[in-house]
């Protein structure tokens, strides 16, 4: 039996594919004996406690790129294969990143807030010329490479720092160290995976390295960034703006972070109807492959999982 959960439309699409493959799907079943596959989204964590209840489990597939909600070291020893869908929303997240970046550089949201407060003026936030903007990408995976190509087409000067080995990867932009990247960038966008090593990688010290008036966009994972340090940098005027699609706690349990030059969206940078379909169908295909005795190309190694997942 397969247990599936997530967005209603996505689950419906995945269910059709799983049943066509001859698999039984139950959307209401308790996790326990007899469950051989789990299809989840980032809202549902799978830890050792959940695994202990599913003695017959063979496959876990998350309908997402990120898998930091699947910290399940030892899955291979349990005979469980864990998969993600690494490329379903590359275009969407890259487009959202660029949209947020252009908003900050041209002061669109700040200007809108001014007008609604009956202030008819050039926005208080600096409005930059896009061409010539020095953009730094923290992480250089598929999404960051798309951002780089789109930004270069607009005339931006792009550099990146890679948080993962780039063996065999064609470099579209110069790669530099994080300190150098931060010190030279008018704008920074975050694309790194969330691991034990990268959690909190952009904190007060790193933000202080940015040139005065720089802007920052995070469409990766909230845990990469020290939110309190970011808010202090905005309040002190060292950053002229920030845009976040992700937060350390989602949804925020208290009042959302607030600043006149802070733009927030509800972890929706990934979304389009096409991306939603691809995520859930990709997860379904991974489960079908595992239960058919195959090893999907999207299977995550136990070593990666032991390090805490990624964005």
Q: Give domain status of residue 70, yes or no.
A: yes
- Count of domains for the chain: 2
pLDDT band at 308 (very low <50, low <70, confident <90, very high): very low
Distance separating alpha carbons of residues 141 and 162, to the nearest angstrom: 8
Task: Spot the catalytic one: 17, 191, 221, 261.
Answer: 221
Residues 131 and 62 in one domain: no
The residues near 184 (Cβ < 8 Å, ≥ 6 apart) are 134, 136, 159, 176, 211
- The reply to whether 206 belongs to the active site is no
Residues 107 and 149 in one domain: yes
Burial 80-106 (b: 16+ CB within 10 A, else e): bbbbbbbebbbbbbbbbbbebbbbbbb
Distance separating alpha carbons of residues 214 and 186, to the nearest angstrom: 5
- The reply to whether 186 belongs to the active site is no
Residues 149 and 31 in one domain: no
Full domain range(s) for residue 220: 90-264
Residues 81 and 99 in one domain: no
Q: How high is the pLDDT of residue 310?
A: 37
Closest C-alpha to 134, from 211, 233, 230, 224: 211
Give the model confidence (pLDDT) of 163-206 as tens digits: 766 544 557 799 999 999 999 999 999 999 888 899 999 999 99
Peptide bond into 189 cis (omega under 30): no
Give the model confidence (pLDDT) of 66-93 as tens digits: 888 885 566 777 889 999 999 999 999 9
Q: How many residues does the chain have?
A: 311
Residues 68 and 125 in one domain: no
Q: Give domain status of residue 297, yes or no.
A: yes
Q: How high is the pLDDT of residue 67?
A: 85
Instruction: Give me the phi and psi of 3, to 5 degrees please.
Output: -110, 125
Q: How high is the pLDDT of residue 66?
A: 85
Question: Do residues 137 and 88 lie in contact, with contact meaning Cβ atoms separated by under 8 Å?
Answer: no
Distance separating alpha carbons of residues 228 and 242, to the nearest angstrom: 13
| pTM exceeding the 0.85 threshold for the entire prediction | yes
Least confident of 57-66, 137-146, 182-191, 293-302: 293-302
Task: Spot the catalytic one: 30, 43, 179, 250.
Answer: 250
- The reply to whether 259 belongs to the active site is no
Give the model confidence (pLDDT) of 34-51 as tens digits: 999 999 998 888 888 888
Instruction: Supply the CATH number for residue 199's domain.
Output: 3.40.50.720
Distance separating alpha carbons of residues 35 and 227, to the nearest angstrom: 39
Residues 190 and 117 in one domain: yes
């Amino acid at each position: 039996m397969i247990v599936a959960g997530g967005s209603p439309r996505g689950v419906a699409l995945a269910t059709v594919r799983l049943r066509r493959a001859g698999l039984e799907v139950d959307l209401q079943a308790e996790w326990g004996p007899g469950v051989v596959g789990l299809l989840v989204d980032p809202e549902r964590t799978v830890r050792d406690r959940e695994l202990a209840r599913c003695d017959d489990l063979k496959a876990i597939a998350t309908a997402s790129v990120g898998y930091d909600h699947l910290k399940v070291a030892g899955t291979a020893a349990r005979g469980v294969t864990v998969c993600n869908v690494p490329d379903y929303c590359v275009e969407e997240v890259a487009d959202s990143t660029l949209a947020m970046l252009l908003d900050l550089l041209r002061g669109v949201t700040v200007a809108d807030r001014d007008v609604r407060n009956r202030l008819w003026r050039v926005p208080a936030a600096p409005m930059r010329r896009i061409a010539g903007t020095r953009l730094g990408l923290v992480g250089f995976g598929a999404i960051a490479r798309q951002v780089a190509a789109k930004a270069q087409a607009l005339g931006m000067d792009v550099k990146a720092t890679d948080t993962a080995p780039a063996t065999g990867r064609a470099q579209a932009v110069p790669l530099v160290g994080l300190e150098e990247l931060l010190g030279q960038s008018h704008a920074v966008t975050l694309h790194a995976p969330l691991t034990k090593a990268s959690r909190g990688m952009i904190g007060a010290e790193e933000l202080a390295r940015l040139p005065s008036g720089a802007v920052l966009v995070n469409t990766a994972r909230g845990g990469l960034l020290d939110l309190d340090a970011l808010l202090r940098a905005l309040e002190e005027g060292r950053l002229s703006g920030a845009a976040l699609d992700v937060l350390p706690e989602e949804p925020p349990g208290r009042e959302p972070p607030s600043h006149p030059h802070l733009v927030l969206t509800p972890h929706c940078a990934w979304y389009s109807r096409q991306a939603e379909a691809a995520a859930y169908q990709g997860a379904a295909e991974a489960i079908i492959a595992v239960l058919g005795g195959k090893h999907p190309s999207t299977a995550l190694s136990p070593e990666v999982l032991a390090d805490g997942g990624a964005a």
